[in-house]
Structure 1
Amino acid sequence: MKILSALPLIAALHFPLAHHVFADELSQIKSSKVFRVGTAGDYPPYAFHNQRGLLTGFDVEIAEALARRLGTNVQFIEGKWDGLIAGLDAGRYDAVVDEVLISESRKARYDFSDSYIKTPIVLIVQTKNSNIHGFADLKGKKVAQTYTSTFARLAESNGGEVVPVESASESFELLVQNRVDAVIHDEPTYLDFQRTRKEKLKIVAIENSGATPSQAGVVIRKNNPELLLAINKALADIKADGTYLTISKKYFGQDLSQ
């Protein structure tokens, strides 16, 4: 009983110390001249390895542009997507730039920059599928998603059974193999997959109720207002000087900031 009653006191003593570990992060980043960015690295066209094995993609180039505006170099640290945001808590990196959609539940634990990309969320099935026409038809159906994603929550809210995967490509593979009934994802990722694979898949619905966020932001730890302000200023700068448009057109053929 004495040990249990002491736990709240121990927690009270330790949590403030944990906060100070990450205090004044912008100064630390500028001092080290390294902006550490978390990414899964397996999410084309946002972050992936090219034929030479080099990390590239839309999010990668956005992070590189932000680092230049912060006056630092960028160091990418890769990990599984489902554990990516939690890596901030462990101090593995300073930010996550990997198409993390802004949601109220995530904002309760982390801070987000201004949105840097807006994309439609789509429901994808096999071309021969005649039973699923919209999100409401997912009840009792198997939907392949990374388990901590906004897409998984959307599937569950419509009665779907989430089949956990580690990447977008794996989710599409399961759909092609008829091991799941559907996939929910952002439209550019699906189109990029189809551009090279040309599988018998189709989009049957677009999520446009306004209830599901379709805007991604840079994720950082809470209570770092200076860093958040600096990242937002860097984002505004790369949009104003044409850097963002160049990167967006390179990967999508259009401006996805609006």
Structure 2
Amino acid sequence: MRLPTSSPLRSLPWITAAALVLGGCATAPPQAAPVSRLDAVQKAGVLRICTPGDYKPFSFQKPDAGYEGIDVDLMTGFAASLNARPEWVKTSWANLMPDLTAAKCDMAVGGISVTTDRQKLAFFSSAYMVNGKTPIARCADAAKYQTVAQIDKPSVRVIFNPGGSNERFARANFKQAKLTLHGENVTIFDEILANRADVFVTESAEAITQQKLKPGLCAINPDKPLQYGEMAWLLPRDDVAFKSYVDQWLHLSQAGGEFQRVMDRWLK
């Protein structure tokens, strides 16, 4: 059959270009799927966990350099589900996100509040606790610090620890009170007892825990926090497989009762 002179098949450049395109599509190698931490942790047998280790009852570093708390117990069980051992990576609240995004650890725990700022840079696990902002003060003064308005006065000395949601809450809500940044979360409660500060606003679980440990301090209305909050674990962004596994493990731990047994061990 003779092709008409107007036929596009008579255009050799067109045929050549089409052949190159089709050939390229046929021979292009498939893109390798990104390696999930789910696979990497199982292969290594080690789960690296960042934590500040200064926040009872979630994660607290002991004098022997070991860790204890709610998240420590839960991470022990979670790591075991991957046939891995937990390896704790000491960090601070200011360096928590930089250390996670720099892949110094596989996840971060230790009483981390869910915030939209953190969500921009990382994934959160499903929230496992509602834990809003609660003032803690000397019991003799508790009646004076029931609300944000009562705390935000020039005569009130508000203390807070750096780098986390406690600092953000204090700076956003207290414009008249005297603000003091205290670098050690472990000793911040002693500052109130020593009358060098009046109020510290933190999560209700920590306020309740510290009033038991520090006679003379009282958590103020922990069942009616000043601001709603949730706690979760911080996970690398875009690792959907790892997040899905973390969430499913947490769900099964809650449904099976182990999660509640850990909570009871530390909060009752």
CA drift at 1:240: 1.6
1:202 matched to 2:213: no
Query: What is residue 185 of structure 1 aligned with on the other side?
Result: 202
CA drift at 1:213: 4.3
Shift >6 Å, 4+ stretches: none
Question: Which shifted more, 243-252 or 116-125?
Answer: 116-125
Q: 2:238 aligns with which of 197, 206, 223?
A: 223
Question: Secondary structure at the residue paired with 1:222?
Answer: coil
Structure 1 gaps of 5+ residues are: 1-19, 254-258
1:132 matched to 2:145: yes
**TM-score under structure 1 length normalisation:** 0.79
Change (3 A) 1:70 1:233: farther
Query: What is residue 103 of structure 1 aligned with on the other side?
Result: 115
Q: State the Cα deviation string for residues 63-91 of structure 1 (Å, max 9, x = none).
A: 11111223322111112232223211222
Query: What is residue 238 of structure 1 aligned with on the other side?
Result: 253
**Residues in 2 aligned to 1:35 and 1:114: alpha-carbon distance in whole angstroms:** 19
- For 2:162, the aligned partner's letter is Y
Question: Secondary structure at the residue paired with 2:86?
Answer: strand
Question: Does structure 2 conserve the Cα–Cα contact (< 8 Å) formed by 1:114 and 1:217?
Answer: yes
Q: 2:182 aligns with which of 165, 176, 182?
A: 165
Question: Which shifted more, 78-87 or 57-66?
Answer: 78-87
- For 2:80, the aligned partner's letter is R
**TM-score under structure 2 length normalisation:** 0.77
Question: Does structure 2 conserve the Cα–Cα contact (< 8 Å) formed by 1:39 and 1:84?
Answer: yes
Change (3 A) 1:209 1:54: closer
Question: Does structure 2 conserve the Cα–Cα contact (< 8 Å) formed by 1:102 and 1:213?
Answer: no
- For 1:176, the aligned partner's letter is L
Question: Does structure 2 conserve the Cα–Cα contact (< 8 Å) formed by 1:82 and 1:166?
Answer: no
Change (3 A) 1:225 1:28: same
* Larger gyration radius, structure 1 or structure 2: 2
**Residues in 1 aligned to 2:252 and 2:220: alpha-carbon distance in whole angstroms:** 37
Question: Does structure 1 conserve the Cα–Cα contact (< 8 Å) formed by 2:136 and 2:219?
Answer: yes
Question: Does structure 1 conserve the Cα–Cα contact (< 8 Å) formed by 2:130 and 2:228?
Answer: no
- 1:110-121 to structure 2, matched below 5 A, reads 110-121=122-133
Query: What is residue 64 of structure 1 aligned with on the other side?
Result: 76
**Residues in 2 aligned to 1:35 and 1:152: alpha-carbon distance in whole angstroms:** 29
Structure 2 gaps of 5+ residues are: 1-31
Identity of aligned residues (%): 17
**Residues in 1 aligned to 2:224 and 2:162: alpha-carbon distance in whole angstroms:** 22
Question: Does structure 2 conserve the Cα–Cα contact (< 8 Å) formed by 1:37 and 1:96?
Answer: yes
**Residues in 1 aligned to 2:212 and 2:220: alpha-carbon distance in whole angstroms:** 18
Query: What is residue 135 of structure 2 aligned with on the other side?
Result: 123
Question: Does structure 2 conserve the Cα–Cα contact (< 8 Å) formed by 1:152 and 1:162?
Answer: no
Query: What is residue 85 of structure 1 aligned with on the other side?
Result: 97
Matched residue count: 231
Q: CA RMSD in A?
A: 2.5
Question: Secondary structure at the residue paired with 1:81?
Answer: coil
**Residues in 2 aligned to 1:111 and 1:161: alpha-carbon distance in whole angstroms:** 35
